[in-house]
Each structure stands twice: as C-alpha cells, then as structure tokens.
Amino acid sequence: MSLFYESRIRQVVLKRWETERIPQLESNIRVEVGIPESEILPEESPILKDIAIPIAFKNMVAQKLWEDESDTVKEQVRRSQQQHVDATTKTVYNTDGVERLELLREYSM
C-alpha cells in the first residue's frame, strides 16, 4: 500500500470514507500527529496521513483497488517487494536451506 498510497489510493480512501464511514472501525481516541504532512515519508503515509481513518478501512480500499489493477502494476509492486526483502537483514525466519544453516552456525558460535 505504501508504494502507491499517495498516487493511487489516498484519494479513493478519502472519497469512500466520506460516503461509507464504518462506525465500528472508528476510534474514540483521536491522535494528533505532530509531523507536518510534507515531512512524512512515502512508506509512512498510509499510517501517518489521514490518521482519523482506520488502517483497516484503508486496507479494504487498497485490496479492492489491487484486485482491479493491471498486471503491469502488480508486477511493479512484486518487484518492489522483492527488492525490499532482498535489502533486509537475513534471519532464520526469512531464509531457508544452506543460507539458514549458515546463520544458525553463526548464532551458535
């Protein structure tokens, strides 16, 4: 969701929230974020922008948009996810085979 929140998802979320507000998802606690919107990183925007709208609602909208998205965009998202996974620190939870055994050996030393 963070890859396209600003460019494709946010406006749909805002429009649908106005017409389809789900009281069960609304929180009684309103949290004010002290970060100017211009300083919020793109990967943080689904959480830190439009904070009055629950993340569950944002996820529902994003899922529907994903289902209707073209194969080209889906492939772009998958490549971005894979690059993120490749860039993360390897652990026994996200590796397997020989790579995992090497990590276990390092941990036990």
What confidence tens digit (pLDDT) does each residue in 63-102 have?
999 999 999 999 988 888 887 777 667 777 777 888 888 8
User: At 97, which amino acid appears?
Assistant: G
Alpha-carbon gap, residue 12 to 58, rounded angstroms: 9
What b/e readout covers 41-71, taking b as 16+ CB neighbours within 10 angstroms? eeeebbeebbeebbeebbebbbeebeeeeee
Same domain, 78 and 89: yes
Same domain, 57 and 87: no
Same domain, 50 and 34: yes
Same domain, 74 and 99: yes
Same domain, 24 and 44: yes
How confident is the model over 57-65, as a mean pLDDT? 93
Alpha-carbon gap, residue 48 to 42, rounded angstroms: 10
What is the model's pLDDT at position 13?
93
Domain membership of residue 18 as a residue range: 1-69
